[in-house]
Amino acid sequence: MWIFFVVIICFIFYMWMEAHRNRIVRHHFSFSSFPKSFRRFHLFFISDIHRRRVSPKLIERLKGDVDLVVIGGDLTEKGVPFARVKENILLLRQLGPVYFVWGNNDYEVDFHELDALLLDCGVKILDNTAVMFESEEGERVALIGVDDVNGRRDRLDFALSDVPRSVFRILVSHDPRIVQKIKKEDDIHLVLSGHTHGGQIRFWKFGLYEKGGVKEINGMKVLVSNGYGTTALPLRFGAPAEVHLLSLHSEKD
């Protein structure tokens, strides 16, 4: 009987370790439409931090490799001290300019206070809006963010309204279901999302959600992250915690 309990304890410890990994998944994406003058564009994507503390060691490993940081929602949740949220933001800011989209759990807290904290820390909030990056040659890349799909706050039409047709478009949405609302004429090239935690605890192919990864859907590359933190239980199995470093470049390079 004691062997059974030892196995259970070891299994729980393993799941705790999976939930606290600092795994960096590196992606190299090439696009025929990506502006050649940008050369290599390095984007750090982290989603679903929830209650977790961002590791300073993770930040040290990434310093010098990142052009901008994107937080893909669920930066926090009910019960997380704002002091911890601020610590996480300030660590991420060490890597570069930070951009944020709202997730469903971010609305569990006083979101007015969270909004003020983000602004005070110099974070740009993409709530159905877009920001442009321009190379010295005048070519541009748009980072487009939509508000929480789960709460029906998303307005992709608003976010796209100020983005010229010729601009390379990256869309960030906490909830990957945004792909169901994207039309071909929206000309989105890359979608970044999280929300599902990859099922968080899954056994082989079985889980509440599909495991995170990259797919091509209707000509778009879609990245769904397993996320960095957890919800309910600080445990994972079959869907380890992860963050992402994306290198975008032109196919002509």
Angstrom distance (rounded) from CA 94 to CA 169 = 25
Residues 35-47 have pLDDT tens digits of 999 888 999 999 9
Worst-scoring range by mean pLDDT, 28-42, 49-63, 183-197? 28-42
Residues 111-134 have pLDDT tens digits of 999 999 999 999 999 999 999 999
Task: Mark 91-112 as b/e (b = at least 16 C-beta within 10 Å).
Answer: bbeebbebbbbbbbbbbebeee
Angstrom distance (rounded) from CA 241 to CA 135 = 34
Domains located in the chain, CATH noted: 2-250 (3.60.21.10)
Tokens of 216: 């091509």
Angstrom distance (rounded) from CA 8 to CA 134 = 54
Q: Give the CB-side neighbour count of residue 161, counting CA atoms within 13 A.
A: 8
User: How confident is the model at residue 252, as a pLDDT?
Assistant: 67
What percentage of the chain carries pLDDT values higher than 90?
Answer: 83
